Each structure stands twice: as C-alpha cells, then as structure tokens.
Structure 1
Amino acid sequence: MNNRAYTFILITLMIDAIGIGIVFPIMPDLMDRVGAGSTGEGAFWGGILMASYAGALFLFAPVIGSLSDAYGRKPVLLLALFVLAVDYVIMAMAEVFWVLLVGRILAGVAGATYTTATAYIADISSAKERAARFGMIGAAFGIGFVLGPALGGIAAEWHITAPFWIAAGMAGLNVLFGLFVLPESLAPEKRRAFGRRDLNPFGAIFQAFRIPGLAIPLICLFVFEFANMVYPTLWAFFTRELFGWSTLYIGISLAGYGVLLALVQGGLMPVMIKRIGEFRTLQLGFVSALVGLIGFGVISTVTGLIVFLLLAALSDLTPPMVTAMASNTVDEDRQGLVQGVIASLSSIAAFLAPLAVTGIFERFVDDAGLYLPGAPFLISALMILLIAPLIWRLRPLAQS
C-alpha cells in the first residue's frame, strides 16, 4: 500500500506543477478573452494573476501544513485536490478578469499542499528511503513543469479553455485514486493542536535573519529569485510581442526550457561541483544570469533568443549553490527553519516580481516614447549586478 500512496503523492505534486505551468503559454489569449486592450495591458493583468497565486501559496502553505498536523494528511490532500479540480473548471468558464483572479487564488491555496505532501512522504518512508524519495519530488515537479506549458500550448490550439478542462479531469481522477489507495499516514496520537501561531508566515523569516551569517545568502537568494521571475512572467507576452508566436510555439519553447533546467540541475551541476567546486559553479551561474538577462534585453531575433536561453538555463546553477551555502551557516537543528524561510522568500519574490516586471513591460511597449520590450530584463540584470559584492562574500561558506 505504501508504494501506491507514494505514487499518489508524486502524481499530486506533478499536477501541482502542471497547474503552475499550464497558464503560461495561453496567458496572452486568456487576457484577450477577458478584455485586455493590448499586449502590455494583458501582461500587467497576467502579472496580477501570477502574484495572486504566489501570495495565496505563501500565506496558506504554513496553514495547510499545520492543518494536516492537526487533522491528518489524507483529508487535507484530497480536499485540496478537489478544490484544484473545481478551480480549473472556474478558469475554463471565466469570461471576466475577476473570475480568473478568484480561480488563481484558489489554485494557490490548493497548491500549498506541497508541505503536506512532503510530510506524508516522510511519514511513510524509513530514514534510508527518505533521501531518494525526496529526490523524486524534484523529478515530479520537473515533469510537471515540462508537461504544463506543453499541455497548455498544444491543447489551446483546439480551444483556449481546453487546457483547463484537461487539468480538471486529471485532478478529479487523482481524487478518486486517492480515495481508494491513500491511507492516513499520521496516527491520531501523533497529531498536535492547531493554534494562532500557525497562521503567521512571517515569524520564521524574522527569526532566520537574526542568525549570524545567514542574512547575506538569504538576501542573495531573494534578489536572484526576484530577478529571474522575469522569465516565466513575461515569456508568453515577450515572445508574442517580438515574434508573434502562437500558444503552440510558446508552450513548446517553455517545455524546452524546462528540459534545459532539468539537464543543468540534474546533469551538469553535479559534474561542475565535482570538477571546479561550489563557489566557481556559483560564479558560472551568476555570470550566466547577468549576461543572459542583458542579452534578452536587447535581442531582436529568434537565433539570439536561443543563444541567451542557454545562458538563462545555466543561471539556475545559482539558487542551489546559495541554498547549500545558507545551509552551511546553521546547525542541524535549524535546517528545517532555513529551508522553510528560503521557500517563503521565494514565494514573496514570486508575488512581488510579476507586479513589477509587467508594469515595466507595459510602459515600454504601449506608451509613447522609447519602445523596448526587453526593458524588464535589463532592470533584472541591474538587480543581479547589485548583489555581486554579496555573492563574492559567500566564498567562505562554499565546500571545496
């Protein structure tokens, strides 16, 4: 039964990732459907949708996790999946912006089950199994991030709402699967009461910044994640504005980018760490990020996009390296705190960045004056450049 439950959890996490990625390629057409008057306005509305998802995820992740501690993993997981299925139906039927907004907030609440899903895996795994099984979580998310944009781009060729109906069906079928194969993993005697402290997502962040040596890697991670959010936020609108790409091309390109990220983090990164060490691998990722963002700021051809996309993929060497260095600053009993705070800061960046970069994009493609669709990428490059002195101060935390 454990193997079936484990499979259910991985499928649930994959569906969560699909739910994030499925919207990216169809966002321009979706915004047109609900009344956006231009590419820039559509991008700004899309940024609000992305921010609402990330904001709900940030606020509800600790709540959902604590509810599962109090009432058990199974009911929380199944209810969240059911809400996700309903959300996809709402998104498919939405013809005005505020309905889409409600749908994205619901998706963020339901997507906050990541903490419950990982807790479930910890419950059903032995100490020797946990490392490998947690590694499979990343694989499940990776598959979802590849399938989501591909599904969105291909299915939208039939109809703009087709991706949502397909995703609703997948979530609904997984609810039925879970009803039959998912046992409760948390015994009643191991549960704890749900309290007011479980409603505060900011307490751990303030605590972490007071730990000596931890502030610098946390600041670097936050700024880097904020700057790199320009890619998923603007990709569909940027390629539509510059090259006139359809949802199919946008979806395929995003899926290809997902494959590149998997190759970089799963294949290249271990080799680079072994050969040149953590800090030089971090330097490679940092320089790639800077050059890639500048390149996207000025490109005008598909060839240029492909070249700088490779550098953008290499930039994802940076977050795992900084995360490892942040982990090296604390003892074992604070590792959970650090990882939770890093996830929270990533969620805050995912909330704030879409609002900022889409506003800048709208200003430089719609208003009179300088026409520069790549302006958000150039500003993101400036942000990366500003943390260069902090990045260089991380050398003592790196493993050779």
Structure 2
Amino acid sequence: MKNRTSLVIVFFTIFIDLMGFGILIPLLPTFASKQLAVSDFGIGIIVAIFSLMQFLFNPILGKLSDRIGRKPIITTTLLMTATSYIIFSFADSFLILLISRMLAGIGGGNIAVAQAYIADVTSKEDRAKGMALIGVAFGLGFVFGPLIGAFLSKFGYYVAGFGSAAFSFMAFLFAFFFLPESNLSKSKDSKISLKLIDVKYIIKVLKIPRVGLLIVLFFIIIFSIANLYGTFALLGYKHFNFTDQQNGFLYGIMGAVGVLVQGFFVKTAGGKINERKLVIWGTVLMMLGLGAIPYGYNFIGVSIVVVILSIGTGILQPTILSLVSKFSPDNEQGAILGINQSLASLARVLGPLWGGFSFDYLGYYAPFLTGAFFTFVTLVLTYYYLRTD
C-alpha cells in the first residue's frame, strides 16, 4: 500500500459515519409504517428518494473532488448527513421524513469521493484491497449500527435519530482534524462540467473498454439487492412477525459476514484468483440468497439465507469497484467512480420503488424473486462478455 496511514484514517471516517447510517436503516420501514401510517409503496418512495439524491449529486461531488480535493467534500457531506438525522428525529409527517432522506442522500454522495480517495492512495495492484476497506467499513457499520439502533429504539425512534446524528458528527470531527488531502494533483481543467446530469459524459464513460460493461453489471447487481431495502424489514415485520430487534440482528449478520468476506477473503484472494471467477462465484451466491429469502420459514432459516446472500455481495461489490477503477484513466478516477456510484444510486431508486410496489400488489415474495432473476442476467453477461486480463 502506498499510504497505509491515510487508508486507516479514511476507513475509520467511513466506519463512524456508517454506524449512524446503520442505526436508522432497519428502523425506517417500521417507523414509517407504525408511527406515520405510510403505505408499503410510500415506504419504497422514502427509501428511493435517498438514492435519487445520490444519483443526481454523486457525479457533481466526484468531479468537484477532482477539482478542489477530496477532504472538503467529505467533511461537508458528513455535516449534511448529521443534519438530516436531526430532522428525522422531529419527523411527524411523510413530508418531513421525505425531506430528511433527501438531505441524507446528498450527504451520502461522500462514498464515491471516499472511493476516489482510496484510488489516490493505492497502486492498481492494491486497488481491490483498498476498495474492500469500504466494504469492511459498511459491514462493521451494519454490525454495530443496527444493534445500537435496536437498543435506542426502545426509548423512542427520535432517540435513534439523535444517535445517528452523533455518529455522523463524530465522523466529521475525525475527518476534519485527521484526514489528509489525497488529491495533491487537483485538476485545473476549467472545462470540467458540473451539470446535474451530464448525459454526454455518462455516454463517454460507458464507451470506455470494459469500464462500460462493469458499470452496467454493477447497476444490475445494485438494483437486485435494492429490492430488499424497504421490503426486507417489512417481510420480517409483516410475514415472519419479527421484532425491530430481530430485524436489527439480521442486518447485523449481513454486516458481520460482509466484514469477514471483504476483510479477509477478498484481501487474500486479490491477485491470486482471477477477478472474473470472483464475479461469477459472487453472482451465483447472491442469486441463491435473494431467491431463498421469502422461503426462510423462521428467524434461523432467514439468518442462514442472509449469510449466503452476504457472502455473494461481499465478493461482488469490491471486486467490480476495483475493476472499474483499474481500467479507468488516473486523472478521471473521481469522475468515473462518481458516475458509477450515480448510476448505482439510480438502481437504488428503481429497486425500492419496484420492491415496494411488487410487495404491496404482487406478494411478499415478488421483490426477492425479481432480484434473483436480474442477478442471473448478471451471471450470463459476466460469463459471456467480461474479460479482466
């Protein structure tokens, strides 16, 4: 690794922020359903608006970080995230909850910038290991966040909101005082476009050999898993009669498995196992996990299926992110990773919308089978078209 200290600092910054994110995510669907009487489709909108804001602002934040540096963007978005959680604590209507998630979505654009940060401080050979750190931070955030959220929710959902805000503000302080700037050769190109949606640039990126296919694969994978965002907790609450605490534990299992896979397997396998094989293995496991979730029968059964699913996603996401970065020009890392995250955010808009609609009108199993089908499409595209050598 070229700069291990910087990697450690950005890892802890992301981890602390995602602790706050992990506190609220398992609680959002049940809060909206029980406290605000929001419909299942309305919950899909609440979940999707977060990702819509990421879709709109990720490319801007990525390009802006190429121009003015990574640190200013990361610290500013962390403050925005903390503010959104405070608004959540006072949400007493669908509209206020929607506004809080919109602001959180803009703040969530810091993940693409964090990916660009890691690309700055790692060599191409170590890129997969560096990107896996983000997955580990996500995983740890989803181990401890839901458990903390399950505990805090006993005292009221607003307490969980304040807890989330506290973690994001701590991440801001940590980044402000300790995170060094990684983009030391900032772009001076005055022609860099900061359009809200730069269609020409997106098309240009999609035409880059191998990068375009990888971004499409990532889009399909994220859409497939995003079908669960609003519906997984509802499945537990409405179909399996799980409590908020049990739903929180399931998210914790997802996070723990993600940490183990990305923190150990992906880092160990990086450079030893062909990336194409990793993508195929990950896709098969993810497809099986998604298809089996609605048939888990009870808490133990769903837990086993969640482990299978989490192994698949734990392999897939850092591997594809690493390949996108590996085949992208060095001076456009922030912009291209921003486009990738933006399109992934669009998938996170469409996934919850379809998930909420299909759960409401087609049956509780529909979102999960949809995800399994599209993951199969990814497997076919990978097998016949993806080349990583």
TM-score of the pair, normalised by structure 2: 0.82
- Give the match for residue 291 of structure 2: 294
- Deviations along 1:102-126, whole A, 9 cap, x unmatched? 1111111122233455666778x69
Q: Distance in 1 between matches of 2:70 and 2:211?
A: 32
Higher Cα Rg, which structure: 1
Q: Distance in 1 between matches of 2:68 and 2:333?
A: 25
- Deviations along 1:315-340, whole A, 9 cap, x unmatched? 22234444555567667677666544
Q: Distance in 1 between matches of 2:281 and 2:183?
A: 43
Matched AA of 2:218: L
8 Å contact kept, 1:34–1:97: no
- Deviations along 1:225-271, whole A, 9 cap, x unmatched? 21122233322111111221111111121011111122223323456
- Structure 1 residues 298 and 114: alpha-carbon distance in aligned structure 2, compared to 1, 3 A threshold: closer
Q: Distance in 2 between matches of 1:77 and 1:270?
A: 25
**Runs (5+) with no aligned partner, structure 2:** none
- Structure 1 residues 183 and 279: alpha-carbon distance in aligned structure 2, compared to 1, 3 A threshold: closer
- Give the match for residue 352 of structure 1: 350
Please, which moves more after superposition, 212-221 or 266-275?
Answer: 266-275
- Equivalent of 2:374 in 372, 375, 383: 383
Q: Distance in 1 between matches of 2:262 and 2:34?
A: 37
- Equivalent of 2:194 in 178, 195, 198: 198
- Give the match for residue 19 of structure 2: 18
Q: Distance in 2 between matches of 1:333 and 1:70?
A: 11
Matched AA of 2:110: T
8 Å contact kept, 2:131–2:321: no
- Structure 1 residues 13 and 330: alpha-carbon distance in aligned structure 2, compared to 1, 3 A threshold: closer
- Equivalent of 1:310 in 298, 307, 314: 307
8 Å contact kept, 1:29–1:160: no
- Deviations along 1:24-49, whole A, 9 cap, x unmatched? 22123311355326xxx2x3222212
Q: Does 1:100 align with 2:91?
A: no
CA drift at 1:281: 3.3
CA drift at 1:147: 2.5
8 Å contact kept, 1:47–1:355: yes
- Structure 1 residues 4 and 268: alpha-carbon distance in aligned structure 2, compared to 1, 3 A threshold: closer
Q: Distance in 2 between matches of 1:175 and 1:353?
A: 30
CA drift at 1:179: 5.7
- Structure 1 residues 170 and 292: alpha-carbon distance in aligned structure 2, compared to 1, 3 A threshold: closer
Output aligned runs, 1:194-343, within 5 Å: 197-199=193-195, 200-269=197-266, 277-316=274-313, 317-323=315-321, 338-343=336-341
8 Å contact kept, 1:325–1:394: no
CA drift at 1:52: 1.1
Percent identity of equivalent pairs: 27
Higher relative contact order (CA 8 A, sep 6+): 2
Q: Does 1:159 align with 2:156?
A: yes
Say what the alpha-carbon RMSD is for the aligned residues: 3.7
Q: Distance in 2 between matches of 1:382 and 1:127?
A: 36
Q: Distance in 1 between matches of 2:329 and 2:192?
A: 28
8 Å contact kept, 2:135–2:262: no
- Give the match for residue 29 of structure 2: 28
TM-score of the pair, normalised by structure 1: 0.80
8 Å contact kept, 1:23–1:149: yes
Q: Distance in 2 between matches of 1:376 and 1:79?
A: 35
Q: Distance in 2 between matches of 1:59 and 1:206?
A: 16
CA drift at 1:352: 1.2
8 Å contact kept, 1:142–1:258: yes
Q: Distance in 1 between matches of 2:216 and 2:130?
A: 30
- Give the match for residue 82 of structure 1: 79
CA drift at 1:308: 1.9
8 Å contact kept, 1:204–1:337: no
Q: Distance in 2 between matches of 1:304 and 1:246?
A: 16
8 Å contact kept, 1:55–1:108: yes
CA drift at 1:208: 2.3
Q: Distance in 2 between matches of 1:268 and 1:7?
A: 19
Count of residues paired in the alignment: 384
Q: Distance in 1 between matches of 2:205 and 2:211?
A: 7
8 Å contact kept, 1:67–1:194: no
- What secondary structure sits across from 2:157 in the alignment? coil
- Give the match for residue 140 of structure 2: 143
8 Å contact kept, 1:297–1:376: no
**Runs (5+) with no aligned partner, structure 1:** 365-371
Q: Distance in 2 between matches of 1:181 and 1:173?
A: 12
- Give the match for residue 48 of structure 2: 51
